[in-house]
A and B are shown apart, each in its own frame.
Chain A
Amino acid sequence: MKIIRIALLILLLAAFIAFPLVFSDPAITEVAVFTLFFAAAASGWNIFSGYTGYIALGHAVYFGVGAYAMALLCQDLNIPAGYTPFLLLPVAGLIAAAFAVPLGWIALRTRRHTFVVITIATFFIMQLMAYNLRFITQGSAGLSLPIPFDWSADFFNLPFYYVALAILLLALGTSWWVRNSKYGLGLLAIRDDEDRALGLGVKTGPFKLIAFVLSAFFVGMIGGLHAYFNGSIFPPFAFDALFDVAIALMAFLGGMGTLFGPILGALILVPAQQYLTIISGETGYNLIMYGVLFLVIILLLPQGIIPTLGKMWHKWVARRSIKEIPPAVATTTAQEALVTESTAKKDEVNL
């Protein structure tokens, strides 16, 4: 079973690596690049919100900080266009993470709804700062980044695709490590019952803050990469309220707190959104359709795809094992059903 899973993962990775080489149309690879941006950001977001159950709706702050850090670094260090700006991404991520320390500390003093609202408030503060601190950000005039002109249109998307894939793998690896470590167990305990976790000796404060900063780091790197991809940044796009909700919805659609849920959500939602924007233009239809899509997903799949599928799978396995064994040994059936159920549950956890 384990070998099959590993083989499947390698196959999946190979598919991701080969994708832009097979479908080399720039229009398609551009959608793929955006999908990976969001998949990596949503995976990062999931490390905090998915595991601790605290819903952060202000991660566009770290996206924006990463973007501005990238632009300012390129400007101040006179970085030429090409491959060097990619090396600055970890720095952009670290700067975003540094912002997340005080902001997370303040926000995490509160819980539940108040926490959500404070994350939203920090988002608006930072957006206003981007407009108002003109001597740093140039206000609404925006900042521009070096543009690699010598990359042909066919080639342009490829470096961004693979760098985004690398960040995604890094986020996924971190997420996997957190999920399977004692630290991650502490985070899950916080999600289930914070006061009890505290009583049992989980250092809830530092645990939450570390997860928050980790998630900000990945979102910040994606922000920097996105800025370089676009070639320019403006306050409303670097600090975009839609981004806050989009990554939450992606993680939620795939399954909050699962390893692959956010990626699955991004794989479905980003192409859908790009498609809606293309067929309807920017005249309000896209907002209506995206909103309706939101509502349908939330009302039909309130648990997310992966948990729902996991449940269906283990129901199916349990039913099949009952059918296979004759009713004379009903007790063993029940026991086996229990065993399969527990392994199925374990599968669900491992996802």
Chain B
Amino acid sequence: MANLIIEAVITGILTGGVYALMSSGLTLIFGVMEIINIAQGALVILGAYLSFWLQDNFHIDILVGLLITMPIMFMLGLLIEVAFIRPLKRNRTMLSILVTFAIAMIIEGVLTRQAGATYVQLNAWYVTASFKIGGFYLPYIYIFGFLLSVVLLSGLYVLLYRTKFGYSLRASMQNRTAAELIGIDVERVSAITFGIGVALAAAGGVAFGATNLFNPNSHYDLISRLLVIIVLGGLGSLRGALVASVALLVIGDVTAVVWSPVWSSTVFFMILVITLLVRPQGLFGQLEGRKQ
């Protein structure tokens, strides 16, 4: 039993890294634009399918394929922001949720047309091969997925804290109006942020698709988890998203071992509810989110 729990903790941390990748895009978009991108889950699944097709048709390795899919998804993110999010002038909270939900439906519909409802999984040598650690075998993909998250999140860190664009982005996050006043093109920052968020979703999609069976319908389950993560961490807080991802995945995996897999998602949600009773702004959120 103790062995199983250790295994659950390790896989929880490793998959938590992947969820951090997906949810950091979501929380970043929220931080800059104050919108919740319900389509993030569908975009993760879309990213997974793109890698799947690249591998299927051109025999491109799924991790190498990211060099192609991430730019494509970045452009798609730009397009979505410019075409559908930017025109929303008033009541953005409500409208952006409906718009991104509509986008999620369209993506699900297109994927259902193209791929059907059968479950697939991404494949590569490191998905099937595993190595022995402690008393159990761990597929290499868990390590690779975690490393991918570390690399991309470090890149994101450098981008946010060491470049001029990062300064503009963080300024827009802190105060949109003031950022506009000092000459930052907030609309451009918003579009690029959305693109980055979607590109991160594609990267998360590869790691997700290699460790889970998925079909076009899987995005509901995914977006519910991602939403729980970013709200638990505090909307707009990257640090919160990282901590909450790892915490939730570890707790979920341990629950699956000690109790039963069917309850792991429920425990996920219960922790959110209990946390919010004590801290309505989430773990690292700022209280100003309560102002209306």
Q: Which residues of A contact B (CB under 8 A)?
A: 55, 57, 106, 109-114, 116-118, 120-122, 124-125, 128-129, 131-132, 193-195, 241, 245, 248-249, 252, 256, 283-292, 294-295, 298-299, 302-303
Contact = CB atoms under 8 A, between A and B. Distances in A.
Given A111-B289, A248-B98, A298-B95, A291 B109 contact: yes
Interface centre among A109, A117, A286 (most CB of B within 10 A): A117
B106 A298 contact: no
Contacts of A194: 292
B199 interface: no
Nearest to A125: B269
Given A113-B34, A121-B224, A57 B97 contact: yes
Contact of A132 (B220, B263, B270, B282): B263
B112 A287 contact: yes
B102 A294 contact: yes
B262 A132 contact: yes
Nearest to B266: A128
A268 B277 CA distance: 40
B36 interface: yes
Given A120-B227, A124-B224, 15 more contacts: A55-B93, A106-B273, A109-B276, A109-B277, A113-B93, A114-B235, A121-B224, A129-B266, A249-B98, A283-B113, A284-B110, A285-B113, A292-B106, A302-B91, A302-B95
Given A116-B36, A118-B231, A283 B112 contact: yes
Contacts of A291: 102-106, 109
Nearest to B291: A195
B162 interface: no
A294 B93 contact: no
Contacts of B108: 284, 287
B98 A298 contact: yes
A116 B276 CA distance: 13
Interface string B87-125: 111110111011101111110111111000000000000
Contacts of B255: none
A302 B89 contact: yes
A131 B261 CA distance: 13
A297 to B, nearest CB: 9
B277 A131 contact: no
Contacts of A118: 231, 272-273, 276
A285 B231 contact: no
Contacts of B88: 298, 302
A290 B281 CA distance: 34
Contacts of B281: 110, 114
B84 interface: yes
Given A125-B269, A252-B94, A111 B106 contact: no
B285 to A, nearest CB: 8
B139 interface: no
Interface centre among A109, A122, A288 (most CB of B within 10 A): A288
Interface size class of B (residues with CB under 8 A): 35 or more
Contact of B105 (A55, A256, A283, A294): A294
A291 B112 CA distance: 14
B280 interface: yes
B109 A125 contact: no
18 contacts: A55-B93, A106-B273, A109-B277, A110-B276, A111-B291, A116-B97, A117-B230, A118-B273, A121-B228, A125-B270, A252-B98, A284-B111, A284-B112, A287-B109, A287-B112, A291-B102, A291-B109, A302-B90
B30 interface: yes
A301 to B, nearest CB: 11
B164 interface: no
Nearest to B111: A284
B94 A55 contact: yes
Contacts of B110: 284, 288
Contacts of A288: 105-106, 109-110, 113
A193 B292 contact: yes
A157 to B, nearest CB: 28
Interface centre among A194, A292, A302 (most CB of B within 10 A): A302
Interface string B215-234: 01000100010011011000
A118 B112 CA distance: 29
A333 to B, nearest CB: 31
B98 A294 contact: yes
Contact of B280 (A109, A129, A248): A109
A3 B216 CA distance: 54
Nearest to B230: A117
A112 B36 contact: no
Contacts of A285: 109, 113
A118 B174 CA distance: 24
A125 B291 CA distance: 27
Contacts of A290: 105
B132 interface: no
Contact of B97 (A55, A121, A122): A55
A273 to B, nearest CB: 12
Contacts of A289: 109
Contacts of A124: 224, 265, 269
Contacts of B282: 114
Contacts of B272: 118, 121
Contacts of B93: 55, 112-113, 116
